[in-house]
Structure 1
């Protein structure tokens, strides 16, 4: 087992985008600032998709201008295309990384962004070049890496071919997303062993959803295969709007708790993170479902909640 893993918090983007109502900008900023005080060193803070498509994230520039994070916290934004990059560059000095994305499944990509995988990758190559010209760290995300609800299992060769295209375009990190919760631990281990072998020198990141209750088991399988980079969302927020019902990222507090109990460092203060997850319940006005919100970490046993 590795001595340490790296975790990127994606709740402010992947989590908030799936909420039925818009969260006020001031409350987003407060929550992100609270996350920045937990010891997290990577946070995905905004997206520059079309505001008419995902109105919950239309305030990306305001969020970037308003947050106040420690210098050591890397701030990432999600970029869908050149127009999105143009908008993001209006706040260039306020973020450190930019992520581009595609679905491995043709059907999902068409339904999600209205383009073929080939057309999306052509655009991504242009955006990746421009990101690197801005001296920004370029990351890439491949959605439906482990299966598509419209097409079924996506062949691993198809996914890794896309990953190699991203790496050739300049992505130094590639995240593989279980967008609709179709992965299982056996396949997760096989997949990440193959990805790490095929993409030397590239940071390989696991992004699992807990849609069908296998998220933490999949993360453990990826860990044993050599993966040390993960994405998750506080409060188990998020999911995918296409198709409906594909909800539930791994809760960051559950993932951190599992690693800490295994003796693996994350640099994150778990009680402070749980406080942030509980705070988002107040903002949303409903109870969230992460285990750590309900039970707390193991060393809280016997203490008042």
Structure 2
């Protein structure tokens, strides 16, 4: 069975106009009824860095989790954020963006790769203390626009370092949409072979024209976990193509339905969430 993490946090974070907290709550509560495995719902980062998500704690307090099996994932960028997020019993996963590009690690979390490795160790300790699961995104896993060294071997080296520290959940993140079906297949199969006991998934950014090919490449490589966002909203603000966003949830679901692959998604609930998403995103630009 393919497991889906719906990512409204990623979809919303780059929008400049502040989305009212009640609108976020209503949308997330609709998503909680769909049957996604995880919901990337918010982040505990500096409001100066991500103003849109400054109300994550307020949103969390209003989520209806009683009838949902979906687990909540919150993004943190440092140890302080991990401690803050861990205070909330509703959160199951803490996601940390670890970049294989030194430049992007500095831009994204204001730390070096070496300091980020140390932060991961502390975050793992915090997760153990509070009963959370650490989830690491291997950002810029398919290349970077800065000229920093990159190769599949470099990605594998950092993946091994993280696994040795105790990380059991890894996501290959195509931060700027440069992956191809060939690179997805090569990288996923290589890491999956070397770390068969790790929960390995993909967080891909894409133009609408290349979504399906990337999904197919990942699935055919053995991937059973995908990050997506309804409508394909979101993506990295540094992407050179403004059409580069998240993989659209509906494109993945169509791919799975054509192959009779179970996703445990409630179609009626999904349609309601899709309808409401237009209220969240229509007319609001990054």
The answer to whether the superposition gives a TM-score over 0.5 is yes
Does residue 5 in structure 1 map to residue 2 in structure 2?
A: yes
Does residue 89 in structure 1 map to residue 86 in structure 2?
A: yes
Does residue 15 in structure 1 map to residue 11 in structure 2?
A: yes
Cα drift, residue 280 of structure 1: 1.5
Mapped to 2, the partners of 1:231 and 1:199 lie a distance apart of 20
Match of 1:61 among 57, 61, 82: 57
Cα drift, residue 278 of structure 1: 2.7
Contact in 1 for aligned 2:94/2:135 (Cα 8 Å): yes
Mapped to 1, the partners of 2:212 and 2:174 lie a distance apart of 12
Cα drift, residue 275 of structure 1: 3.2
Does residue 253 in structure 1 map to residue 250 in structure 2?
A: yes
Where do residues 1-305 of structure 1 align in structure 2 (5 Å cutoff)?
4-11=1-8, 13-69=9-65, 70-90=67-87, 92-151=88-147, 154-211=150-207, 213-243=209-239, 245=241, 247-286=244-283
Tell me the alpha carbon deviations over residues 220-255 of structure 1, each in whole angstroms, 9 at most, x when there is no partner: 111111111111111211111235646410111211
Cα drift, residue 71 of structure 1: 4.1
Which is further off, 80-89 or 45-54?
A: 80-89
Contact in 1 for aligned 2:177/2:239 (Cα 8 Å): no
Mapped to 2, the partners of 1:48 and 1:161 lie a distance apart of 28
Secondary structure of the equivalent of 2:61?
Answer: helix
Tell me the alpha carbon deviations over residues 237-274 of structure 1, each in whole angstroms, 9 at most, x when there is no partner: 11112356464101112111111112111001235324
Question: TM-score, with normalisation over the residues of structure 1?
Answer: 0.87
Which runs of 5 or more residues in structure 2 are unaligned? Answer: none
C-alpha RMSD of matched pairs (Å): 1.9
Structure-2 change in CA distance of 1:101 and 1:287 (3 Å): closer
Secondary structure of the equivalent of 1:23?
Answer: coil
Which has the higher relative contact order, 1 or 2, with Cα contacts under 8 A spaced 6 or more apart?
2
Cα drift, residue 212 of structure 1: 6.8
Secondary structure of the equivalent of 2:134?
Answer: strand
Mapped to 2, the partners of 1:26 and 1:132 lie a distance apart of 32
Mapped to 2, the partners of 1:131 and 1:89 lie a distance apart of 7
Question: TM-score, with normalisation over the residues of structure 2?
Answer: 0.93
Contact in 1 for aligned 2:43/2:74 (Cα 8 Å): yes
Structure-2 change in CA distance of 1:243 and 1:217 (3 Å): closer
Secondary structure of the equivalent of 2:98?
Answer: strand
Contact in 2 for aligned 1:112/1:242 (Cα 8 Å): no
Aligned residues, how many?
A: 283
